[in-house]
Amino acid sequence: MFSHAITRVPGPDYPQGLTTSAAAAPDMELTLSQHAAYVDCLRSLGLTVTVLPAAQGFPDACFVEDTAVVVREVGVITRPGAPSRAGETAYIEEALSAHRPLARIEAPGTLDGGDILQVGKRFFIGVSDRTNDEGARQLAAILGAHGYESDVIRVAAGLHLKSSLNFVGADTMLVTADFAGHPAIDGYRQIVCPAGEEYAANTLLVNGTLIMPTGYARTRALLEPLGLPIVELDTSEYRKMDGGLTCLSLRLEPTLP
């Protein structure tokens, strides 16, 4: 169960961030209202939410998940793979240090939190355009010191691992067709997003509730038999910048006694 989340408000330069989308630039009024709805949703699920101010000069900084990997024992400050995002970690350290002792990914390692999926004491680490082998090795070593196991998955499609693979409870993974049947998730039941609904794979499990992007009725129908409450949130202005629900927060479990 999560007790706390850290988020960051998108800044006025948000439309200048990194994206592969050819869609129109984000509407800032809608961007901010969608962010506020996201924060309200987390609070409704019992989380205390810290909302950090915009980080001037870092238009992608609202995607705070990429800057750290957090377990009960430690917060790992990442080393984002996109050069324009390298300075973002300095803006998360103070907020995270109030909750956890910190470790760091060091050069030449690169690592984005969007490539990291935790399922209990097991981690799936995506090696992608943003996370390299050395970053994966360092993270696995840091987590291993606290009793976590790690599996490395090569990400050939999508920006991050969690663009295509997420845990939705009940020993079940929600995946895109590219990851269906992957050996690393053998033993998990798999729900495959229908063609055209791949973006819905970025669905977030928080305290027994599934938060999914709005507008993906076929994927929702596949998730409903899990018996979990489902909340849909509009993320249209984040999809324009290659972002999704998991990217917008760092979720923290209570610290160990």
Amino acid at 85: R
User: How many CA atoms does the CB half-sphere of 156 hold within 13 Å?
Assistant: 5
Separation of alpha carbons 239 and 163, rounded Å: 11
User: CA 135 from chain center: how many Å?
Assistant: 17
**247 catalytic per annotation:** yes
The residues, any chain, with a CB within 8 Å of residue 33's CB and separated by 6 or more, are: none
* 160 in catalytic set: yes
As a whole number of angstroms, the distance between CA 208 and CA 168 comes to 9
Query: For the residues of 96-114, what is the DSSP string, one character each?
Result: HHTTS-EEE--TT--B-GG
Paired strand residues for 48: 4
Catalytic residue among 4, 35, 160, 182: 160
Query: Rounded to the nearest 5 degrees, what angle is found at the Cα of 116, between the Cα atoms of 102 and 64?
Result: 60
**Tokens standing for 213?**
């992007």
Q: Which H/E stretch holds residue 205?
A: strand 204-206
Coil, strand, or helix at residue 223? helix
Structure tokens belonging to residue 3: 């007790």
Asked whether 252 and 99 are in contact (CB, 8 A), the reply is yes
Q: Tokens 């798999």 belong to which residue? A: 190
CA gap 213, 86 in Å, rounded: 28
Catalogue the active-site residues: 160, 247
